[in-house]
Amino acid sequence: MLETITAVNQAVNSFIWGIPAMVCIIGVGLLLSVRTGFLQLRKFPYAIKTTIGRIFRKKDASDGAMTPFQAVCTALAATVGTGNIAGVAGAIAIGGPGAVFWMWCSALLGMCTKFSEVTLAVHFRERNKNGELVGGPMYYIKNGLGSRWQFLAVLYSLFGVLTVFGTGNATQVNTIVTAIDSALLAYGSSLNSILPTVNLVVGVVVAMMVAMVLLGGVKRIGSVTEKLVPFMALFYVVLALGVVVINYRRFPAVLASIVGGAFDPQAFTGGTIGSIFLSMQKGVSRGIFSNEAGLGTGSIAHACADTRKPVKQGMFGIFEVFADTIVICTLTAMVILCSGVPVGYGSAAGAELTISGFTATYGGWSSIFTAVALCSFAFSTIIGWGLYGSRCIEFLFHTDKVVGPFLVVYSFVSILGATVDLGLLWSIADTFNGLMSIPNLMALLLLSGTVAKLTKEFFAGEGAGK
């Protein structure tokens, strides 16, 4: 049975993440960039000023909404996850150092893609029966494209409900137990016998904590993420920068391997990986898995923001991709490559490769701090994706009565995720991510004119200066 699932998933995954998908993702990002005059570059200083400035502005949100800062923290909670740690490690192992270069390229276009998603989500959102602000791809398809395209909104929501269990929960918990297991084994292989019990306990504890947060509603989700995300991001950045500084002599060679490996992988992987397309595929797919630009999921959180300016909230989309991929993913890559740990090119790898980069630099004790960072990243991701899943299932059934039971089931998946094979989980998550992107990219293509119009009106008027 497992072999059949693996074979089917591999076939679907190869098709979804093949050349057509790369063309669509890059093509839509390029089109949106052209139609907005490469806003992500032209207005990057404004985006940073706007987002950083609002982060430190204290404000209470109206009922059924989050503050703009809580919204971006919830979105970052879902994006800054194990994809930044385990995903980057997997991309380097399968695609070589050059995968990092293609990750940067996808992020450059992804900034505009996510800006567009957030802008459209806020512009076309609505309030549900409880008075909560709801939005995202299914709503900008429904309200922006009309009834003819309703099937796209249904498909997106359906794929979203299926995706959250793998991408949002199971893979995250799997990475948590991997980190904890690695930290325990660093103190002696004799602890190996208790790992299955530890994993089960961790799964149960995570399930209970997730249920407590998610069943508390939008306000509690926003309150938790605004405290957790800044702490975990700063903690990880400082730890990773230390690895780069300590191994600064390797930095020039690492940069050369990233740029050179993007066009000649064979030269930097000992001939194990010789395909430029494989390097590109892994870099782009893992980049999207991490920053979610093209998936539209982050816009679901931003739609909850208590703001009346879609374009201004859209600036957080640019900031998100920059923080997630250009900063955190790059630092993870530097931890692996600058530390000099051996990389088994051509073989699957996960969080353990990143952890080995930290321990090789700081010593075995650092595995504890890495485990804490991984647990924080993964837990925040589970919370963010729980919100996404609840919005998708609410849209499918046209009622919020299904949300509670869904979140209970979603929480219990954490226990399953603590014991399932990592390689298959990442592959299935990759597949569902690709399926989600199809209806969203079609909507972005059809609504690109609306994005361009809203952007032009905002910067032409008084809104940009306020």
Q: What pLDDT shows up at residue 464?
A: 47
The mean pLDDT of 387-415, rounded to a whole number, is 91
* pLDDT tens readout for residues 219-265: 677 777 777 777 777 888 888 999 999 999 999 999 999 998 888 77
| 466 in any annotated domain | no
* pLDDT tens readout for residues 207-220: 998 898 888 876 67
| 465 in any annotated domain | no
* pLDDT tens readout for residues 294-317: 889 889 988 988 888 899 989 988
| 284 in any annotated domain | yes
Give how many domains the chain has, as a whole number. 1
Q: What pLDDT shows up at residue 117?
A: 96
Q: What pLDDT shows up at residue 267?
A: 64
Query: What HEC string does the chain produce?
Result: CHHHHHHHHHHHHHHHCCHHHHHHHHHHHHHHHHHCCCHHHHCHHHHHHHHHHHHCCCCCCCCCCECHHHHHHHHHHHHCCHHHCHHHHHHHHHHCCHHHHHHHHHHHHHHHHHHHHHHHHHHCCEECCCCCEECCHHHHHHHHHCHHHHHHHHHHHHHHHHHHHHHHHHHHHHHHHHHHHHHHHCCCHHHHHHHHHHHHHHHHHHHHHHHHHHCCCHHHHHHHHHHHHHHHHHHHHHHHHHHHHHCHHHHHHHHHHHHHHHHCCHHHHCCCCCCHHHHHHHHHHHHHHHHCCCCCHHHHHHCCECCCCHHHHHHHHHHHHHHHHHHHHHHHHHHHHHCCCCCCCCCCCCHHHHHHHHHHHHCCCHHHHHHHHHHHHHHHHHHHHHHHHHHHHHHHHCCHHHHHHHHHHHHHHHHHHCCCCHHHHHHHHHHHHHHHHHHHHHHHHHCHHHHHHHHHHHHHCCHHHC
**For residue 201, what is the domain's CATH number?**
1.10.4160
| 208 in any annotated domain | yes
The mean pLDDT of 159-181, rounded to a whole number, is 82
Q: What pLDDT shows up at residue 55?
A: 61
Percent of the chain with pLDDT over 70: 88
Domain encompassing residue 130? 1-460
| 308 in any annotated domain | yes
| 275 in any annotated domain | yes
